Structure 1
Amino acid sequence: MSSSSAAPTAKPPMRDALVAAAFRLFLERGYEQTTVDDIVALAGVGRRSFFRYFPSKEDVVFPDHERCLADMTAFLATSDEEAEPVGRVCDAARTVLRVYAENPAFSVQRYRLTRKVPGLRAYELSVVWRYERALASYLRGRFAGRPDGALRADVVASAVVAAHNNALRSWLRSDGKGDAAAGVDHALGYVRAAFGRSAHARSAPARSAPARFGPGHREPAPSGAPHAPQEDVVVVVARRNAPLWQVVREVETALGRA
């Protein structure tokens, strides 16, 4: 078959064409100097077509955030009651990472642009806040009825977003090189260790008495039990309402890991 009979290359969907045109102009002219009229002229469409897809010029910079938020919310909505809540919101945050990793070049380009334009940084913060609220809403439902349930939900949601964004931005600063998922997993591991079910079990609080921690404490063997080699352990006694961060910090201090 001759090359002249080959099928023509399909045009990108209009939404993608608008995004491509916008970023081309942002790079050539600068964000502030580019207007919606400039974008639609380059894309070869009318203003009505632009506003059918994007409410504002800022939205064309973040074309995938609505999809990210919808995917994350749907992911949380399908959670069953047996799912460990902290682990579940960590997994939900990974749905956002996957969208960034789908197109590293575009993600890096956008990151550089938002660093230069204060208005875009403010817009991005508002988007991040919506993610955080979605995570907190899910956790409030799971922690309902527990002491400080709403507070715990908000703290965990903030920690998940902070850990995810720390790793994501590190990857973006490296121009999208390396394993973004591994970096995010490492960061979210701190959140699960501090707030997850296993951390809660390790700090199982007593009902009274102030917290006391001591390395080298040895539990006496029950009467009549065979003597086994003794090992150094850490015994934790804490008030039921002791803040989890304080318990974790004291355990780390006792273990010499602070």
Structure 2
Amino acid sequence: MSSSSAVPRRGEKTDAAAIKPPMRDALVAAAFQLFLERGYEQTTVDDIVALAGVGRRSFFRYFPSKEDVVFPDHEGCLADVTAFLAAGDDADEPVQRVCEAVRLVLRMYTENPDFSVQRYRLTKQVPGLRAYELSVVWRYERAFAEYLRRRLAGRPDGHLQADVVSAAVAAAHNNALRSWLRSDGKGDVGTEMDHALGYVQTAFGTPPARPGQPADTEDVVVLVSRRGAPLWRVVQEIEATLTQD
């Protein structure tokens, strides 16, 4: 028998924290166990606290509602994102800084892929959770926009640019993330994210340097188009040129 499973001697104190998970984690684990067994709508807060072995007051100390227990990690992640953006300085390229910030959100998902995939499946099944998830995404988007408004203040249409870029970063992140979640967390999400955020940086910021290209070397593209060509055709040709290796 290993020492970790030995019965404590009489009078010897055990480290409860080493035996039981923190109460917050225990509540999340109990909730998801019941959601998988019974379904989200059929599970009540009373069911969750009964399985976790705590009282209702303990539940609401950590989670304002049943919806919040499905997204237990976003408050901390949003605080990390906000702090990361605030720690930047004027030397940072603002669009790139936001693209780096959104990778903190991706890291939160990839640190616990099994939980992230479970939550994705659950959220797809429950309309109320999908609406809640949209409100979570909006909070990240607002944090990006507030940072960009400060950095782009004084530019023509600075606030408009801030809102458009923040929405684009959130959309690019979600596109890559959902592709990874649909693969049950087994795809190459890092490469997918690089590709998606590369579109944002190319469109709105300083495009990422190509392999073998010095970071301070300008990459100039010259496009020749027929006079009178429709605008949609010109845009299509520009996009095709920019995405060539």
Residue identity matched to 1:132: E
Q: Does 1:67 align with 2:76?
A: yes
Aligned length: 221
Residue identity matched to 1:87: Q
1:37–1:47 CA contact under 8 A, matched in 2 = yes
After superposition, the Cα gap between the structure-2 partners of 1:185 and 1:6, relative to the gap in structure 1 and judged at 3 Å, is: farther
Question: Equivalent pairs: percent with the same residue?
Answer: 73
1:214–1:254 CA contact under 8 A, matched in 2 = no
Q: Deviation per CA, 1:203-234, whole angstroms, max 9, x where unpaired?
A: 9xxxxxxxx96369xxxxxxxxxxxxxxxxxx
After superposition, the Cα gap between the structure-2 partners of 1:253 and 1:100, relative to the gap in structure 1 and judged at 3 Å, is: closer
2:223–2:238 CA contact under 8 A, matched in 1 = no
> Residues of 1 paired with 2:35 and 2:93: CA distance?
43
Partner of 1:79: 88
> Residues of 2 paired with 1:21 and 1:2: CA distance?
28
Partner of 1:37: 46
Residue identity matched to 1:214: V
Partner of 1:223: none
Residue identity matched to 2:39: G
Partner of 1:236: none
Query: Counterparts of 1:158-177 in structure 2 under 5 Å?
Result: 158-177=167-186
> Residues of 2 paired with 1:97 and 1:151: CA distance?
26
After superposition, the Cα gap between the structure-2 partners of 1:257 and 1:65, relative to the gap in structure 1 and judged at 3 Å, is: closer
1:215–1:254 CA contact under 8 A, matched in 2 = no
After superposition, the Cα gap between the structure-2 partners of 1:194 and 1:202, relative to the gap in structure 1 and judged at 3 Å, is: farther
Q: Deviation per CA, 1:217-252, whole angstroms, max 9, x where unpaired?
A: xxxxxxxxxxxxxxxxxxxxxxxxxxxxx9x93770
Task: Report deviation, 1:182.
Answer: 2.0
> Residues of 1 paired with 2:160 and 2:167: CA distance?
11
Q: Does 1:125 align with 2:134?
A: yes
Partner of 1:238: none
When the two chains are superposed, the root-mean-square deviation of aligned CA atoms in Å is 2.9
Partner of 1:232: none
> Residues of 2 paired with 1:115 and 1:122: CA distance?
10
1:213–1:254 CA contact under 8 A, matched in 2 = no
> Residues of 2 paired with 1:63 and 1:254: CA distance?
42
Task: Report deviation, 1:183.
Answer: 1.4
Q: Deviation per CA, 1:11-47, whole angstroms, max 9, x where unpaired?
A: 1000000000000000111000000000000000000
Q: Does 1:214 align with 2:221?
A: no
Partner of 1:239: none
Moved over 6 A (4+): none
Q: Does 1:197 align with 2:198?
A: no
Q: Does 1:99 align with 2:108?
A: yes
Q: Secondary structure at the match of 2:58?
A: helix
1:215–1:255 CA contact under 8 A, matched in 2 = no
After superposition, the Cα gap between the structure-2 partners of 1:256 and 1:69, relative to the gap in structure 1 and judged at 3 Å, is: closer
Residue identity matched to 1:123: Y
Residue identity matched to 1:23: F
Partner of 1:52: 61
Residue identity matched to 2:100: D
Q: Deviation per CA, 1:161-207, whole angstroms, max 9, x where unpaired?
A: 000000000000000002222211211011011111359x879xxxx
**Structure 2: unaligned runs, 5 residues or longer:** 9-13, 209-217, 227-231
> Residues of 2 paired with 1:2 and 1:180: CA distance?
39
Q: Does 1:26 align with 2:35?
A: yes
**Structure 1: unaligned runs, 5 residues or longer:** 204-211, 217-245
TM-score in terms of structure 2 length:
0.82
After superposition, the Cα gap between the structure-2 partners of 1:32 and 1:253, relative to the gap in structure 1 and judged at 3 Å, is: closer
> Residues of 2 paired with 1:253 and 1:127: CA distance?
32
> Residues of 2 paired with 1:57 and 1:254: CA distance?
47
